[in-house]
C-alpha cells in the first residue's frame, strides 16, 4: 500500500487533497484511503477537552445579557468544565450568575427536553444547588448584578429591556435570579444559587460536594501551585464535581504552570500528564517549563478547547459589536521626589556614600519609602489640591504609609488587613456607592473584584509597588468599560527608585528571593546561639543590624499574631525546638494568609521541611541544628 507524503496538519478542516504538495496525488484508491486513515490517525492524537455539560435553548438565557455574554454562557454550559478569561468590564459576574442559574433550572426540570451531553454522569444529584466562590469584599458587586438580572435595575439597561425582561420572566419564577450568601452547610437548605468566600471553603466550613456545580470568581487565587493551601484544598474538595468553572480577568498565559493549574482544577488534564505531553523537563526547577517547539500549536489548540480569552466582544467574531466597550482615556502622571542624600549611609568597610543607593530590591525600596514618607505625603496633599472635592482612592503598601495618610487627612476611611471582615466590606460598599469621598487601602486588599468606577475616576499611588498583578488589578478598579470619565493616575516615587516605569511592570518574586538570600547569607556568616530562643533572636538582630538590613522586632501582624522579625513583608520566625511540626506549619500558614506578608523564613533546630510556597507565598527554611556549631 502506498504511503502518504505528510506535509502539514492544519487542523480538522484539512482535506485529503492538501496532504500532497504541488497538487501531486497517488493514482490508486488504496493510497487515498491510506492517506485519509493516516490523517485521521494524526488528528486523533491531538488532545482537546471533551464536553461535560448541557445543551441549553438560547431562549432560556436572560435577555438582559449582551450577545457576547450569551454566547459565552452557552459555550460554558456545553463544556461543563471551562475557564472564562474575560477582560475587565466584559461581564464575568453576569455570566457566572446566569450559568449557575441555568444549571439549577436544568436540575430542577425547568428547561424541558434539553439534553445532557452523553459523557456526563447519568444520575443527577439529589439537590439542585450551585455554588459561587469569590474573594472577600466583592459580595456587594454580585448582589448588585443579581438585582440587575432579576429586575433590570441598572443604569445601562433601558426601559424597553426591562419590559422584555418582565415578559420573559412571566410565569417562570426560575428565571428570576436569586443569590444567597452562606458561611456554613446549614445555611444551604434547598435548591438555588449560593455564594461564599474562599476562606469558608478552604477552612472546611462548607461541604462543596453538596452542590452540583461551582464557579470560582477571581480564580487567579489558585496560581500558587503546590505550596498554596487554597490550591491543595480546592483540588481535593472539588475533585469529581460534575460541573465547574473558573473566571478571571488576569490569567497569565505565559506562566504555563498557571494554565496547567486551571486545567487540573477543571479535571481537563492532570498537571503531570500535561507536563509530559507538552513541555521539556528542567531537572533543577520542576515548574520552570519550556514548551516543545513542535507542540506549541497543539498546546494552544488544547488550551482553546477549554479556556476562552477575550479582551473585547469582537474577539468572538465580527458579528459581536464592540459598541460601548471603549476604555476611557488614561492620564498617568509621574511625580519624582528629590532624594535627600545627606543620609546616604556607608559601605561595609566604613566609607561614606556620596549618594543614596538605588531602591532596587524589597528591602531597599521599603527603606526608601520610610525615609521619603514625609515628602511623599506632602506631594500627595499637593496633588489633592488639584480638585479637593473629587472622589479618589489612595493606594499604599506599608502600614506606616496608612498611618501617615490618616494623620494628614483627618476623617479619611481606611481599609486594612487586621480589620474585621464586616467592617472592610461596609467601607468598600460605601465607597463604591459614593457615600464618602476618599478611601485609603492596599492593592492586595481591595485591588481585585471591586468596581469603583461609578463614582471615582482618580487614583493616587503613594509609592511604587513590586507586584505587577496587584498593580494592574488596582488600575482596573477605575479603568473599566462603562466608566464615563477619563481616569487619572498619579504615581509618587523618589529618584532613588530606579527606572520607575520598569519597576511598576516588574515582578516581585526575584526581589523577594534576593532579600531572603541576603538574610540567609548574613545569618550563616553569624554565630547564632542555639540554646535559648531569646539568645538566638538577639544574635539575629545583631547580625541583621550589622549588615544594614532594616527590621522590626515583635511586630504585631494582627491582634493575635506577633512576629519574631518583620522585614517589610518578610516574616522571620524562630522555632529552635517544637513538639509538633504540624503546629509550626499551621502557624506559618496563618501568617501567610495575611495580605502584607510576601515571604516566610523559618529558623529552627527541629528537623523538618517546608513546601516551596505556603498560601502562595515563598517559604524558606534555615536549620540551626547541631551542624550549625
Q: Is the pTM higher than 0.95?
A: no
In this predicted structure, what is the pLDDT of residue 4?
A: 37
In this predicted structure, what is the pLDDT of residue 10?
A: 31
User: What is the C-alpha separation between 238 and 235, in angstroms, rounded?
Assistant: 6
> Which band of pLDDT confidence, cut at 50, 70 and 90, is reported for residue 414?
very high
Does position 533 have pLDDT exceeding 70, yes or no?
yes
In this predicted structure, what is the pLDDT of residue 361?
A: 47
Name residue 280's beta-bridge partners: 290
Q: What is the pLDDT of residues 365-397, one digit of tens each?
A: 556 667 789 999 999 999 999 999 999 999 998
Residues counted in the chain: 629
> Which band of pLDDT confidence, cut at 50, 70 and 90, is reported for residue 478?
very high
> Which band of pLDDT confidence, cut at 50, 70 and 90, is reported for residue 407?
very high
Sequence-separated (6 or more) residues with CB below 8 Å from residue 566: 551, 552, 555, 557, 572
User: What is the C-alpha separation between 277 and 271, in angstroms, rounded?
Assistant: 10
Sequence-separated (6 or more) residues with CB below 8 Å from residue 211: 129, 130, 131, 188, 194, 241
How would you write 213-236 as a 3-class SS string?
EEEEECHHHHHCCCCCHHHHHHHH
38: burial class by Cβ within 10 Å (0-12, 13-18, 19+)?
Answer: middle
> Which band of pLDDT confidence, cut at 50, 70 and 90, is reported for residue 351?
low
In this predicted structure, what is the pLDDT of residue 178?
A: 95
Helix (H, G, I), strand (E, B) or coil at 335: strand
> Which band of pLDDT confidence, cut at 50, 70 and 90, is reported for residue 17?
very low
Listed in sequence order, the DSSP H helices in 170-313 are: 198-202, 229-237, 256-265, 271-278, 296-306
Q: What is the pLDDT of residues 272-297, one digit of tens each?
A: 899 989 998 776 666 678 888 888 88
**How is residue 33 written as a grid cell?**
484511503
Percent of the chain scored above 90 by pLDDT? 37
The edge-to-edge listing of strands for the beta sheet with 81-86 is 180-181, 192-197, 129-134, 213-217, 243-247, 81-86, 307-310
DSSP-derived secondary structure for 574-619:
EES--S-HHHHHHHHHHHHTSTT--EEEEEESS-----SEETTEEE
User: What is the C-alpha separation between 448 and 251, in angstroms, rounded?
Assistant: 13
Helix (H, G, I), strand (E, B) or coil at 281: coil
C-alpha 591, offset from chain centre: 19
Q: Looking at residues 623-629, what average pLDDT do you find?
A: 52
226 or 59, higher pLDDT: 59
In this predicted structure, what is the pLDDT of residue 8?
A: 35
Sequence-separated (6 or more) residues with CB below 8 Å from residue 538: 529
- For CA atoms 36, 42, 45, 49, give the dihedral sign: negative
513 or 483, higher pLDDT: 483
Q: What is the pLDDT of residues 609-623, one digit of tens each?
A: 778 788 778 888 888
Q: What is the pLDDT of residues 565-605, one digit of tens each?
A: 998 789 999 988 766 788 888 889 888 888 778 889 999 88
Q: Looking at residues 104-109, what average pLDDT do you find?
A: 91
Q: What is the pLDDT of residues 316-327, one digit of tens each?
A: 988 999 888 888
Question: Which candidate, 457, 494, 277, places its Cα nearest to that of 368?
Answer: 494
Amino acid at each position: 500500500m502506498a504511503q502518504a507524503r505528510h506535509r502539514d496538519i492544519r487542523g480538522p478542516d484539512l482535506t485529503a487533497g492538501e496532504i500532497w504538495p504541488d497538487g501531486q496525488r497517488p493514482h490508486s484508491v488504496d493510497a487515498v484511503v491510506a492517506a485519509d486513515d493516516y490523517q485521521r490517525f494524526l488528528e486523533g492524537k491531538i488532545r482537546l477537552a471533551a464536553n461535560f455539560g448541557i445543551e441549553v435553548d438560547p431562549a432560556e438565557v436572560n435577555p438582559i445579557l449582551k450577545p457576547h455574554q450569551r454566547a459565552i454562557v452557552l459555550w460554558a454550559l456545553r463544556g461543563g468544565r471551562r475557564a472564562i478569561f474575560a477582560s475587565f468590564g466584559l461581564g464575568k459576574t453576569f455570566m457566572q450568575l446566569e450559568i449557575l442559574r441555568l444549571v439549577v433550572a436544568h436540575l430542577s426540570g425547568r428547561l424541558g427536553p434539553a439534553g445532557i451531553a452523553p459523557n456526563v454522569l447519568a444520575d443527577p444529584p439529589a439537590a439542585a444547588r450551585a455554588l459561587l466562590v469569590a474573594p472577600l469584599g466583592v459580595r456587594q458587586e454580585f448582589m448588585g448584578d443579581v438585582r440587575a438580572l432579576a429586575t433590570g435595575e441598572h443604569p445601562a439597561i433601558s426601559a424597553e429591556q426591562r419590559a422584555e425582561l418582565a415578559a420573559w420572566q412571566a410565569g417562570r419564577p426560575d428565571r428570576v435570579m436569586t443569590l444567597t450568601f452562606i458561611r456554613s452547610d446549614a445555611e444551604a437548605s434547598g435548591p438555588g444559587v449560593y455564594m461564599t468566600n474562599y476562606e469558608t471553603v478552604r477552612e472546611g466550613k462548607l461541604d462543596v460536594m453538596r452542590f452540583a456545580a461551582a464557579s470560582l470568581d477571581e480564580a487567579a487565587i489558585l496560581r500558587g501551585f503546590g505550596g498554596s493551601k487554597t490550591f491543595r484544598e480546592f483540588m481535593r474538595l472539588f475533585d469529581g464535581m460534575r460541573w465547574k468553572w473558573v473566571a478571571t480577568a488576569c490569567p497569565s498565559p505565559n506562566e504555563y504552570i498557571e494554565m496547567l493549574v486551571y486545567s487540573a482544577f477543571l479535571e481537563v488534564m492532570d498537571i503531570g500528564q500535561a507536563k509530559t505531553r507538552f513541555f521539556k523537563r528542567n531537572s533543577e526547577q520542576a515548574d520552570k517549563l519550556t514548551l516543545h517547539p513542535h507542540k506549541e500549536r497543539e498546546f494552544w489548540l488544547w488550551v482553546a478547547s477549554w479556556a476562552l480569552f477575550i479582551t473585547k466582544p469582537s474577539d468572538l467574531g465580527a458579528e459581536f459589536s464592540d459598541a460601548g466597550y471603549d476604555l476611557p482615556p488614561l492620564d498617568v502622571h509621574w511625580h519624582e521626589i528629590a532624594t535627600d542624600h545627606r543620609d546616604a549611609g556607608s559601605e561595609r568597610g566604613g566609607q561614606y556614600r556620596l549618594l543614596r543607593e538605588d531602591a532596587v530590591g524589597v528591602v531597599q525600596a521599603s527603606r526608601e519609602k520610610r525615609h521619603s514618607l514625609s515628602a511623599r505625603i506632602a506631594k500627595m496633599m499637593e496633588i489633592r489640591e488639584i480638585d479637593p472635592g473629587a472622589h479618589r482612592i489612595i493606594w499604599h503598601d506599608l502600614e506606616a504609609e496608612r498611618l501617615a495618610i490618616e494623620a494628614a487627612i483627618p476623617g479619611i476611611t481606611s481599609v486594612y488587613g487586621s480589620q474585621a471582615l464586616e467592617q472592610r466590606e461596609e467601607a468598600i460598599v460605601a465607597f463604591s456607592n459614593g457615600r464618602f469621598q476618599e478611601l485609603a487601602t492596599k492593592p492586595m486588599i481591595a485591588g481585585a473584584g471591586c468596581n469603583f468606577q461609578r463614582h471615582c475616576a482618580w487614583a493616587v499611588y503613594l509609592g511604587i509597588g513590586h507586584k505587577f498583578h496587584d498593580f494592574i488589578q488596582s488600575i482596573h478598579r477605575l479603568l473599566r468599560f462603562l466608566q464615563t470619565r477619563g481616569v487619572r493616575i498619579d504615581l509618587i516615587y523618589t529618584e532613588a527608585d530606579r527606572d520607575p516605569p520598569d519597576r511598576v511592570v516588574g515582578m516581585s518574586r526575584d526581589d523577594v528571593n534576593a532579600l531572603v538570600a541576603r538574610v540567609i547569607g548574613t545569618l550563616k556568616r553569624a554565630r547564632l546561639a542555639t540554646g535559648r530562643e531569646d539568645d538566638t533572636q538577639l544574635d539575629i538582630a545583631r547580625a541583621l543590624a550589622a549588615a544594614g538590613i532594616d527590621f522590626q522586632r515583635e511586630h504585631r501582624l494582627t491582634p493575635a499574631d506577633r512576629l519574631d522579625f518583620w522585614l517589610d513583608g518578610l516574616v522571620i520566625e524562630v522555632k529552635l525546638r517544637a513538639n509538633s511540626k504540624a503546629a509550626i506549619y499551621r502557624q506559618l500558614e496563618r501568617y501567610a494568609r495575611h495580605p502584607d506578608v510576601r515571604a516566610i523564613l523559618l529558623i529552627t533546630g527541629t528537623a523538618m521541611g517546608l513546601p516551596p510556597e505556603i498560601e502562595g507565598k515563598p517559604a524558606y527554611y534555615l536549620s540551626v541544628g547541631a551542624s550549625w556549631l
